[in-house]
Chain A
């Protein structure tokens, strides 16, 4: 099974500053034929279900602000929020959807300084 490992576990950032969350998979989730990485990022605000932010490691879902971006390939990925807003305080999870069982990182709690 693929293990997804996120870092850090928690992050405290000031309004307007950059936040970066990292995610590593225990094996490659890159389809070399298509060049697509089967990694998604989700945001979960308090009391809400998860919301899909990014897929294919770097494609924003509908309505996701441009300040959210994703990068990486193979086994190493990151989510960056370029200028933190108050509404970005949440838990963030990475996920691989290349292999069953689908698996998630343990989550990163993002708070405001």
Chain B
């Protein structure tokens, strides 16, 4: 079965930075877009960012554009989300998920990691 494992979560002060990583295995990582979705525990899901298979295209939720940065290293089957200028409202569990994109046809998020908790507090 496919595996996605997030790491890098933790406690950070408002205005601080954090880097989340997600390692994939048991599938062809370079064939998939990768995305990050966040969730306040027990609440709704919010898509945050996505990156194309080759890393040349990136997309962001408006509220994080300019503060968050997504990147990937296919050789290491990893995707990274750099979180800067963090706010209390960014507190959430951050999940990485894979998405197959066939040309311009998006598919649903068919496999998710277990998540990494980011807590922004003074």
Report A's interface with B, CB cutoff 8 A. Answer: 38, 40, 42, 49-52, 55, 61, 93, 95, 97-98, 100-107
Contacts and interface: CB of A to CB of B under 8 A. Distances in A.
A61 B35 CA distance: 19
A55 B108 contact: yes
B47 A55 contact: no
Interface string B46-87: 110010000000010110000000000000000000000000
Nearest to A31: B105
B47 A61 contact: no
B22 to A, nearest CB: 12
Interface in B18-59: 35, 37, 43-47, 50, 59
Contacts of A93: 44-45
Given A102-B47, A104-B46, A107-B44, A61 B110 contact: yes
Contacts of A102: 35, 47, 50, 106
B112 A101 contact: no
Nearest to B48: A101
Given A49-B112, A101-B59, A107 B106 contact: no
A98 B44 contact: no
Contacts of B9: none
A50 B50 contact: no
Contacts of A106: 44
A77 B77 CA distance: 36
Contacts of A42: 45, 109
B33 to A, nearest CB: 11
A38 B108 CA distance: 8
A50 B113 CA distance: 9
A38 B114 CA distance: 25
A49 B108 contact: no
Contacts of A107: 43-45
24 contacts: A40-B108, A40-B109, A42-B45, A49-B112, A49-B113, A49-B114, A49-B115, A50-B45, A50-B112, A52-B108, A52-B109, A52-B110, A55-B107, A93-B44, A93-B45, A95-B109, A97-B99, A97-B108, A98-B106, A100-B59, A101-B61, A104-B45, A104-B46, A105-B44
